[in-house]
Amino acid sequence: MITNFFSILTPFTSAVSFNFTSFDSPDPNILYEHAYADEDQVIQLTGSKLKGWIDGRATYSRPMHLWDKDSGKLTDFSTHFSFVIDAQNQPDYADGLAFFLAPNGSNFSMAASAGYLGLFNPASEPTDNFFVAVEFDIFTNVWDPPGEHVGIDINSIISVANVPWLSNISIKEGKANEAWISYNSSSKNLSVVFTGFKYNVTVNQSLSYIVDLRKRNRRANKDDRALDEEFKRETGPRRFTYDELARATNDFNNKEKLGQGVFGGVYRGFLRDINSIVAVKRVSEGSTQGIREYAVEVKIISKLRHKNLVQLIGWCHERSRGQLLLVSDFMPNGSLDSHLYKKDTLLVWEVRDIKPSNIMLDSNFNAKLGDFGLARLVDHVSALQTTDLAGTKGYMDLGCVTTQRASKESDIYSFGIVALELACGRKPINHEAPEDQVVMLEWVQELHGRGVLLDAANHRLGGQFDEQQMNCLLIVGLWCAHFEYDHRPSIKEAIQVLNFEAPLPLLQFDIPRTLESYNSTSYVRQTN
Distances, alpha carbon 260 to alpha carbons 8, 264, 265, in Å: 42, 6, 4
Helix, strand and coil percent figures for the chain, each rounded to 5 = 25, 25, 50
Are 478 and 448 spatial neighbours (Cβ–Cβ below 8 Å)? yes
Beta bridge partners, 161, equal: 152
Are 74 and 11 spatial neighbours (Cβ–Cβ below 8 Å)? no
Residue 261: closest CA among 291, 234, 283, 242: 283
**Cα separation, 313 vs 304, whole angstroms:** 12
* Strand ranges for 107-249 from DSSP E: 132-137, 149-154, 161-164, 176-184, 189-198, 201-210, 238-239
Catalytic residue among 144, 329, 337, 353: 353
Given CA atoms 242, 248, 250, 252 in this order, what sign does their dihedral have?
A: negative
Residue 280: closest CA among 248, 311, 306, 302: 248
- Helices H / strands E in the chain, number of each: 10, 21
Q: Which residue stretches of 437-500 are H helix?
A: 440-449, 467-480, 491-498
Residue 406: closest CA among 418, 415, 417, 398: 398
Fill in the amino acid letter for 103. Answer: P
Task: Establish whether 68 is a catalytic residue.
Answer: no
Beta bridge partners, 36, equal: 44
Which stretch of DSSP H or E encloses residue 89?
none
Fill in the amino acid letter for 446. Answer: E
Residue 328: closest CA among 245, 210, 401: 245
DSSP-assigned states of every residue in 207-231: EEEE---SPPPHHHHHHHHHHHHHH
On whether 281 is known to bind a ligand per the annotation, the reply is yes
**Cα separation, 498 vs 502, whole angstroms:** 8
Q: Which residues are annotated as a binding site?
A: 281
Query: Active-site residue numbers?
Result: 353
Q: Which residues are annotated as a binding site for ATP?
A: 281
